[in-house]
Structure 1
């Protein structure tokens, strides 16, 4: 049985840990509110932009081709893995690693075997993980969440877009956590490049062709709107991941605080039992000593 001093030391240690996890939960909750507001404002904008782009491309048919729509044999692949800079967020980061590994084992198994898979890591945890796996890395975005903005994400998007235009990559896929609620994050693997043609719903009814008036020219609209849409898609994925991170950390710290409370109850019970046993032993020793002294007289 542990001594009273050891149990008391463990109680103090667990209490300190509980205070830290409780504080981290409160910080994560405050950051989550801001991150959730950002993604809720971004989603309608991104959806509307994609809708405009779909309408534009469908109206032009094959009149204007985009360099981001080029369909090539998939030999070289870029995976954009979005994690966090810090840990203590439960399975938030490990789920991304599992998602990427699943892609490498199934969809991109041939490219992985040939060593033609490159990773663009957004977040320190992703960078460290894939460097250990000795995968080729594109760029360095390990501290992008320190000053998260569209401009910082735009640089990463432009690197991926430039690689696709130059033929360095034949396909670009994003892997990130989509924010659903505080306790739930869904791992998504979405193709960023080449652009996937919009499909009409199966229930859609034939309609008359709409004669659009383009201002400025179709070519200029395509050259401006498509790159902007791609950057917005990546920025939205990063915002989703940011909100998911704070939700996962808040949940993990809440659970850690509860576990610390349960451990404290167990340790205090052990402490009281050990103390009671020590007092009983002392009483028995005193009584035994008194009886021995009386018997010696």
Structure 2
């Protein structure tokens, strides 16, 4: 049985851990508000951009389809996986790695990975072919930084280095819930021309020029939205994980305090018995 000094040391250690986890929870809660506001404001813009592309391209000729929408025989696939640079966020990072491995396993052709986040890079760098690592994107993160990554991916697709590009990330639902999403980034899905669309629009410049201008913006916005979703999800997951860790530490501390009090009471009782026994022995001698 541990002595009283060891138990006191464990109680002190757990108390220090509780202070750390509680502080991390509050920091993540503060960062979550800012990240949540950013993704909530971006989503309507992204959805409206998609809607405009669908409306403009709904009755376009198949010959005028953008190069980013052209489907070809799939010989090589690029998967963009988004995690964080730090841990202590529950299953936030491991769920992405798990989904990435599953996606690679079910893809019958060659696959390369573009990693955004140190955690996914560390998990795949020895077992997978890494096309590029963009973990530094979270340092002073901005739309311009993400746009450079998106432009590089679009160029590689346009030049035929990859025939499909997929995106895996955590979609932010709320502070306690994140959903792993797998989306096809390229080629983009264009609406089918049913011939029933009646439009009185006069396009200036031409319909093709509008589509060619909007599609790259849409792709960049989609990647940027995935990164913002991931950031908000990370803070939500870390806040939840630190909240649970603090509760577990408190429960363990309470158990140790009870155990310490019982052990201390037993030690005091033994000392009293020894004193009484010694007094009786002196009395009878």
For Structure 1 versus Structure 2, the TM-score category normalised by the shorter chain is over 0.9
Shift of 1:254: 0.6
Q: Secondary structure at the match of 1:85?
A: coil
- Given the alignment of the two structures, is residue 22 of structure 1 paired with residue 22 of structure 2, yes or no? yes
**Match in the other structure for 2:161:** 168
- Given the alignment of the two structures, is residue 209 of structure 1 paired with residue 202 of structure 2, yes or no? no
Contact 1:59 1:210 in 2 (8 A): no
Q: List per-residue Cα deviations over 1:138-188 (Å, max 9, x = no partner).
A: 222112222121011111111211111111111100001111111111100
- What are the within-5 Å matches in structure 2 for residues 127-146 of structure 1? 127-133=121-127, 135-146=128-139
**Match in the other structure for 1:151:** 144
What is the CA–CA distance in structure 1 between the aligned matches of 2:17 and 2:111, rounded to whole Å?
A: 41
Q: List per-residue Cα deviations over 1:184-242 (Å, max 9, x = no partner).
A: 11100000001112259xxx9x9552143221233322221111110001001111111
What is the CA–CA distance in structure 2 between the aligned matches of 1:190 and 1:253, rounded to whole Å?
A: 30
What RMSD in Å do the two structures reach over aligned CA positions? 1.6
| Greater alpha carbon shift after TM alignment, 66-75 vs 260-269 | 66-75
- Given the alignment of the two structures, is residue 37 of structure 1 paired with residue 30 of structure 2, yes or no? no
Provide the TM-score with structure 1 as the length reference: 0.92
Tell me, which stretches of 5 or more residues in structure 2 are unaligned? Answer: none
| Greater alpha carbon shift after TM alignment, 55-64 vs 248-257 | 55-64
**Match in the other structure for 2:270:** 281
What is the CA–CA distance in structure 2 between the aligned matches of 1:144 and 1:60, rounded to whole Å?
A: 37
**Match in the other structure for 1:225:** 214
Contact 1:76 1:170 in 2 (8 A): yes
**Match in the other structure for 2:231:** 242
Provide the TM-score with structure 2 as the length reference: 0.96
**Match in the other structure for 1:50:** 50
**Match in the other structure for 1:81:** 81
Shift of 1:64: 1.7
What is the CA–CA distance in structure 2 between the aligned matches of 1:51 and 1:231, rounded to whole Å?
A: 16
What is the CA–CA distance in structure 1 between the aligned matches of 2:197 and 2:39, rounded to whole Å?
A: 36
- Identify the match of residue 120 of structure 1 among 114, 123, 146: 114
What is the CA–CA distance in structure 2 between the aligned matches of 1:208 and 1:260, rounded to whole Å?
A: 62
What is the CA–CA distance in structure 2 between the aligned matches of 1:168 and 1:235, rounded to whole Å?
A: 22
What is the CA–CA distance in structure 2 between the aligned matches of 1:214 and 1:141, rounded to whole Å?
A: 38
What is the CA–CA distance in structure 1 between the aligned matches of 2:90 and 2:25, rounded to whole Å?
A: 13
Change (3 A) 1:271 1:208: closer
Contact 1:64 1:218 in 2 (8 A): no
Shift of 1:122: 0.6
Give aligned pairs, total.
285
Tell me, which stretches of 5 or more residues in structure 1 are unaligned? Answer: none
Contact 1:92 1:248 in 2 (8 A): yes
What is the CA–CA distance in structure 2 between the aligned matches of 1:259 and 1:5, rounded to whole Å?
A: 22
- Given the alignment of the two structures, is residue 103 of structure 1 paired with residue 115 of structure 2, yes or no? no
What is the CA–CA distance in structure 2 between the aligned matches of 1:85 and 1:143, rounded to whole Å?
A: 9
What is the CA–CA distance in structure 2 between the aligned matches of 1:246 and 1:100, rounded to whole Å?
A: 21
What is the CA–CA distance in structure 2 between the aligned matches of 1:75 and 1:207, rounded to whole Å?
A: 35
**Match in the other structure for 2:240:** 251
